[in-house]
Chains A and B, each alone.
Chain A
Amino acid sequence: MSDERNAWRCTLACAVCLAGCIDVGQERVQFDVHVAGRALDEIEARHGWTVELSRADLAFGPLFLCASTTAGDLCEPARAEWLDSVVVDTLDPASKTAGMGVGLEGEVRSFMYELGATWPLAQPQPQPTTAGEALDEHALKLAGVARREGREVHFEAEVAVAANTAGRTVASGQLDAQRLGADVTTLRARFDPERFVAQIDFDELAGTQEAEAADQDGPIRIRPDSQAHRAVVSGLVSNGRPDIAWDGSAQKE
């Protein structure tokens, strides 16, 4: 047997063996990012109030998908990302294209995202995203009317949120484990605006001086130091995270 033939046989043996135990590289994946809201009639709020929203525009993005079960530091590097941002009319259930996400194939178990601003490590304070700029440097612009026993309270709010530490995102969530592959076509993020207002105490809001003045002058503008404002922030950051779904053959692990 010649040395050359032996060399080829050994090379083949190595190749077969190595292919079985070494990650030979992950395929790049691309997918459309679609966003949507939810059609609502009336929302049941605290203390028997019902709410009808006329506006709930949300500045969403960027979005990062993580292999770890929780996002944050353990999401470095992200498995996939969509680096743009978009204003979502969360009262419109129609799905709209927001852009293209890119990443590497593999399993994702959590996600994190920004709402109107991002705070890079090198910056002294949060910077507005494109969508945030479109909403005058806010995460959410909200308007509606709350009703109970014949009383109507018209209200509006402009709410900004940002991470309280540089280098972190403002919101995150866990996912049922999904495998992103080349055949995944679309990521769908659907927001439920009911969650933005569910914890507002309209008894308190209706009892404020602003409410009395607003009866003549127009809607109450929710103050940043009010319970209603904190309720919307909490609704945005914790309870209002989007439901994430995929089109294509993303497989549940």
Chain B
Amino acid sequence: MGKQIRWMWIATVAALACGDQDDGVGHGRVTVVVDAEDSIVEGVSAGTAVEQIADGWQVEFDRYIVAIGHVTLTLARNSEIVREIEESFAVDLATLNSQGLALWEFEDLAAETWQIEYATVAAGDADPIRHRSVSERDHAALIEQDATYLIAGRLSADEGMSCPPPAHADPGDATPTGERDTGEPCYDNPSIEFSWLVPAETTYGPCEVDGVEGVSVPEGGTRSVALTLHGDHIFFNGFPGGSEGGITRLAQWLADSDLNLDGEVTREELEAISPADLAELDERYNLDAPFEDLLPLDDLWTYVRAQLRTQGHFEGEGECALGGRAHDHDH
């Protein structure tokens, strides 16, 4: 190859690489599914393994409804090329099988790498489409409360006890059956229900798996990717901000929040308790919640909201930057 031809070839390749359109590039499709971590479908057992609850409680979820959508793909090499599906859905993650649920289809995408973002949405604003796994009543409740999640389930432990902070406790006629190391009285409470409509609107993305960002679209084919919601973050002893390594799952704090010992923890009870009021939230915990709009973190309802806003992942354990502010595309 002569010098002239060689340089012309280099210039042509460079010019193609610089194009801001996808001209000349093949096309493919992306199917986006919503996927539930096993902790949602199967619950979380008690035990000493990393992903078990370490203080003797187990949890199971009857319903784990989320409003999710606003899926956005941005061409990795040119952030001005954006494809978006605004549509959101209300889905009960507790009913999903291991295949997840395909909800969004992107067609005619350049066969390149695209960044992916999505959102858990406020149902009152987003008016999510009701999936058949969600009852009309629960769908209406989500919208009426402008909630993102409806989570219902129970904690249980054969010898479970609640040790509510004395300054807030309303034990009635209950007789203490023990006490914490720090002296607070404890009461038998082996099964504790919860059913919460929780506002937890959050944007997730760009998402990555092991440092590899986004979705690689195959030429002439379809790539399926999963928006994975985890279900156990409210039992984390911190806000990991990425990898969950080193996290311990604990549930006694929630049992201690049953102030009137009626076997149910309500939103009102969580709103009445400052994190500092619970002796259980000791040096094992780090309360470094990453969301400025949830500060000050002065009650446990806010703590639950903050933990739920960290639950969005990608392709199982892949990580997504957490937004939490108004959804925008100015990035």
Contacts and interface: CB of A to CB of B under 8 A. Distances in A.
A228 B182 CA distance: 14
Given A13-B14, A173-B292, A68 B297 contact: no
B292 A174 contact: yes
Interface in B211-256: 237-238, 240-243, 245-247
A26 interface: no
A82 B185 CA distance: 46
Interface in B264-280: 274-279
B24 interface: no
Nearest to A241: B295
B167 interface: yes
B321 interface: yes
Interface string B70-91: 0000000100000000000000
Interface string A206-228: 00000000000000000011011
B282 A165 contact: no
A3 interface: yes
Contacts of B286: 163-164, 168, 170, 237
B322 interface: yes
Contacts of B321: 68-70, 74
B323 interface: yes
B176 to A, nearest CB: 19
A172 interface: yes
Contact of B290 (A6, A17, A72, A166): A72
Interface stretch (A52-60, A92-100, A143-151, A196-204): A196-204
B298 interface: yes
Interface string A232-253: 0110011101000000000001
A7 B18 contact: no
Given A164-B283, A165-B246, A174-B290, A13 B11 contact: yes
Contacts of A241: 295
B255 to A, nearest CB: 18
Contact of A14 (B10, B282, B295, B297): B10
Contacts of A165: 238, 240, 245-247
Interface in A160-206: 163-168, 170-174, 177, 195, 198-201, 203-204
A230 B323 CA distance: 28
Contacts of A164: 237-238, 246, 283-286
14 contacts: A14-B14, A21-B17, A21-B77, A69-B323, A110-B290, A165-B247, A195-B296, A198-B298, A199-B274, A199-B276, A201-B276, A227-B165, A231-B274, A233-B287
